[in-house]
Amino acid sequence: MSTAKLPLLIQSDGTIMLEDGHPGAESARELLREIAELKKRPGDWHTYRVTPVSLWNAAAAGWTGETMMERLNELARYGVPAALEKEIRDVAGRYGSLRLKDRGSELELKVRDSLLLEELLACRGLDACWLGAPDGLSVGVRKEARGWLKRELIALGYPVVDEAGYRSGEALPVRLLAEDGTGRRIRLRDYQEEAVEAFASGRTGAGGSGVVVLPCGAGKTWVGMGALARLQCETLILTSSTVSVSQWIRELRRSTSLDEDAIGEYTGDRKEVKPVTVATYQLLTHRKSKGGSYPHWKLLSDRNWGLIIYDEVHLLPAPVFRMTADLQATRRLGLTATLVREDGREGDVFALIGPKRYDAPWRSMELMGWIAKPSCTEVRVPLTPHGVARYREAPKRQKHRIAGENPLKLAAVRRLLSRHPKQPTLIIGQYLDQLNEVAQGLSLPVITGNTPQTERQRLFDRFNRGEISVLAVSKVANFAIDLPDASIAIQISGSFGSRQEEAQRLGRILRPKQSGAGVYFYTLISDETDEVEFARKRQRFLLEQGYEYEVDWLKEEALAAEEAGT
Amino acid sequence: MTGGDGGRSRGMEMLRWLLRRYGAMPFAEAEAAVLASEELSPLRTPAELRVAMLGLRRDGVLLAARNRWGDRTLYLPAEELAAWHSLLFAAVPEPLPFGERIVTAEGPARCPGPRGRAPLSRQLLRTWADLRRRGGLPLTANGALHRARAAKLAEAMELAPQELAPLLGAAAADDAAIQAALFLAIELGSELGVLGRTVGAIEAGSGDGWSGFDGTMEELDALLHSLLVRHYAPGDPGLHFAALSLGRLEPNRWYLERETREAFGMTERQPGRAGWDAWLRAAACFGWMEFGRRGEEETIRWTVRPHVGVPGKPGELSVPSGSSVPGVADVPERPVVYVQSDLEIIVPPEVGFGMRWRLEEIAERIALDHVSTYRLTRASCENAVRLGLRPERIAETLREAAGHALPAAATGAIEDWLRDVRTGEQAEAAGHTLRRSAWLAGPLLLLPRPEPLRDCEPDGSVPSRDELFPGLAAVPPAWLAQTRRYHASTRKDMAELALAWRTSLRIEPDGGGGYSFIPESLERLGESWSLVGRVRDAANGDVAAEAVAADSVMSARGTDRVALSVDSLGAIRLELPPEPRREL
ipTM: 0.82
Q: Is the pLDDT of residue A231 over 90?
A: yes
Q: What is the DSSP string of B282-311?
A: HHHHTT-EEEEEETTEEEEEESS----S--
Residues of chain B with CATH 1.10.10.10: 4-88
CA distances from A91 to A58, A60, A100, B105 (A): 11, 12, 19, 15
Q: What is the DSSP string of A328-384?
A: TTSEEEEEES-S--TT-THHHIIIII-SEEEE--HHHHHHHTSS---EEEEEEEPPP
Q: If we measure between CA atoms, which residue out of A369, A309, A365, A363 comes closest to residue A333?
A: A309
B115, A544: Cβ pair inside 8 Å?
no
B341, A45: Cβ pair inside 8 Å?
no
Q: Which CATH code, of 1.10.10.10, 1.10.645.10, 3.40.630.30, 1.10.3720.10, is assigned to B4-88?
A: 1.10.10.10
* SS3 label, residue A141: strand
Per cent of chain A over pLDDT 70 is 95
B349, A78: Cβ pair inside 8 Å?
yes
Q: Among the listed ranges A165-174, A182-191, B137-146, B442-451, which one has the minimum average pLDDT value?
A: B442-451
CA distances from A527 to A382, A395, A531 (A): 5, 18, 8
Which chain B residues are closer than 8 Å to A76 by Cβ? 327
The pLDDT score that the predictor gives to residue A399 is 93
**Which residue segments constitute the domains of chain A, with CATH numbers given?**
3-94 (no CATH), 100-163 (no CATH), 190-360 (3.40.50.300), 367-564 (3.40.50.300)
- Burial (CB count <10 Å: 0-12, 13-18, 19+), residue B269: exposed
Query: Which tens digit of pLDDT belongs to each residue from B314-350?
Result: 444 444 333 333 333 344 567 899 999 999 999 999 9
Length of chain B measured in residues: 584
Q: Which of A17, A22, A528, A538 to mutate to test the interface with B (most CBs of B within 10 A)?
A: A17
B371, A78: Cβ pair inside 8 Å?
yes
- Classify each residue of A56-91 as buried b or exposed e, where b means 16 or more C-beta atoms within 10 Å of its C-beta: bbbbbbebbbebbbebbbebbbbbbbbbbbbbbbeb
Please state, in angstroms and rounded to a whole number, the distance separating the CA atoms of residues A328 and A326.
6
CB B371 within 8 A of CB A9: yes
Question: Distance from B371 to chain A by nearest Cα, in Å?
Answer: 7
Q: Which of A5, A20, A86 to mutate to test the interface with B (most CBs of B within 10 A)?
A: A86
Q: Strands A8-10, B562-565: parallel, antiparallel or unpaired by DSSP?
A: unpaired
Give the relative orientation of helices A556-565 and A408-419 as an angle to the nearest 10 degrees: 80
Please state, in angstroms and rounded to a whole number, the distance separating the CA atoms of residues A95 and A154.
10
The pLDDT score that the predictor gives to residue A273 is 93
Please state, in angstroms and rounded to a whole number, the distance separating the CA atoms of residues A328 and A325.
6
Which chain B residues are closer than 8 Å to A81 by Cβ? 115-116, 369-370
Over residues B383-406, the mean pLDDT reads: 90
DSSP label of B391? H
Over residues A210-231, the mean pLDDT reads: 92
The pLDDT score that the predictor gives to residue B113 is 47
A11, B367: Cβ pair inside 8 Å?
yes
Name the closest residue on chain B to residue A45, using Cα atoms.
Answer: B340
Q: Is the pLDDT of residue A64 over 70?
A: yes
Name the closest residue on chain A to residue B327, using Cα atoms.
Answer: A79
Number of H helices, E strands in chain A: 22, 23
Query: Which residues touch B389 (CB under 8 Å, ≥6 apart)?
Result: B206, B208, B361, B362, B429
Query: Which tens digit of pLDDT belongs to each residue from B72-106?
Result: 899 999 989 999 999 999 889 999 998 787 877 76
Name the closest residue on chain B to residue A378, using Cα atoms.
Answer: B409
CB A521 within 8 A of CB A549: no
Of residues B330, B343, B367, nearest to A4 (C-beta): B330
Q: Is the pLDDT of residue B250 over 60?
A: yes
Which chain B residues are closer than 8 Å to A86 by Cβ? 103-104
Which chain A residues are closer than 8 Å to B369 by Cβ? 11-13, 15, 81
**CA-based diameter of chain A, in Å?**
88
**pLDDT class for B442, splitting at 50, 70, 90?**
confident
Over residues B54-64, the mean pLDDT reads: 92
**pLDDT class for A141, splitting at 50, 70, 90?**
very high
The pLDDT score that the predictor gives to residue B314 is 40
Question: Distance from B33 to chain A by nearest Cα, in Å?
Answer: 46
The pLDDT score that the predictor gives to residue B554 is 41
In this structure, what are the phi and psi dihedrals at residue A223, rounded to the nearest 5 degrees?
A: -65, -40
Please state, in angstroms and rounded to a whole number, the distance separating the CA atoms of residues A282 and A301.
18
Query: Which tens digit of pLDDT belongs to each residue from B145-173?
Result: 888 888 888 887 888 877 888 888 766 66
Q: Which of B104, B250, B414 to mutate to test the interface with A (most CBs of A within 10 A)?
A: B104
The pLDDT score that the predictor gives to residue B15 is 94
Question: Distance from B408 to chain A by nearest Cα, in Å?
Answer: 8
Query: Which residues touch A63 (CB under 8 Å, ≥6 apart)?
Result: A34, A35, A92
B116, A84: Cβ pair inside 8 Å?
no
In this structure, what are the phi and psi dihedrals at residue B28, rounded to the nearest 5 degrees?
A: -85, 135
Task: Using only the alpha carbons of chain A, give its radius of gyration.
Answer: 26
Q: Which of A3, A70, A73, A529 to mutate to test the interface with B (most CBs of B within 10 A)?
A: A3
Q: If we measure between CA atoms, which residue out of B231, B232, B255, B242 comes closest to residue B85?
A: B242
Question: Distance from A367 to chain B by nearest Cα, in Å?
Answer: 22
**pTM of the predicted protein model:** 0.81
Name the closest residue on chain A to residue B411, using Cα atoms.
Answer: A551
Q: Within a 13 Å sphere around the CA of A211, how many CA atoms are in the beta-carbon half?
A: 30
The pLDDT score that the predictor gives to residue B542 is 44
Which chain B residues are closer than 8 Å to A3 by Cβ? 326-330
Question: Distance from A427 to chain B by nearest Cα, in Å?
Answer: 24
Please state, in angstroms and rounded to a whole number, the distance separating the CA atoms of residues A308 and A322.
14
- Burial (CB count <10 Å: 0-12, 13-18, 19+), residue B378: middle
Q: For the sheet containing A45-49, what is the strand order? A: A8-10, A15-19, A45-49, A37-40
Q: Which of B101, B111, B115 to mutate to test the interface with A (most CBs of A within 10 A)?
A: B115
Query: Which tens digit of pLDDT belongs to each residue from B465-508?
Result: 888 899 999 999 999 999 999 988 899 999 999 999 999 999 99
DSSP label of B474? G
Query: Which tens digit of pLDDT belongs to each residue from B185-236?
Result: 999 999 998 999 988 899 998 877 777 788 999 999 999 999 999 998 998 9
Name the closest residue on chain A to residue B328, using Cα atoms.
Answer: A78
Q: What is the DSSP string of A23-75?
A: TTHHHHHHHHHHHSEEEE--TTEEEEE--HHHHHHHHHTT--HHHHHHHHHHH
Q: For the sheet containing B201-204, what is the strand order? A: B137-138, B201-204, B195-197
DSSP label of A559? H
* SS3 label, residue B552: coil
Interface of A with B (CB under 8 A): 2-4, 9-13, 15, 17, 40, 42-45, 73, 76-87, 89, 528, 532-533, 536, 540, 543-544, 548-551
Average pLDDT value over all residues in chain B: 82
The pLDDT score that the predictor gives to residue B540 is 45
Q: Is the pLDDT of residue B257 over 80?
A: yes
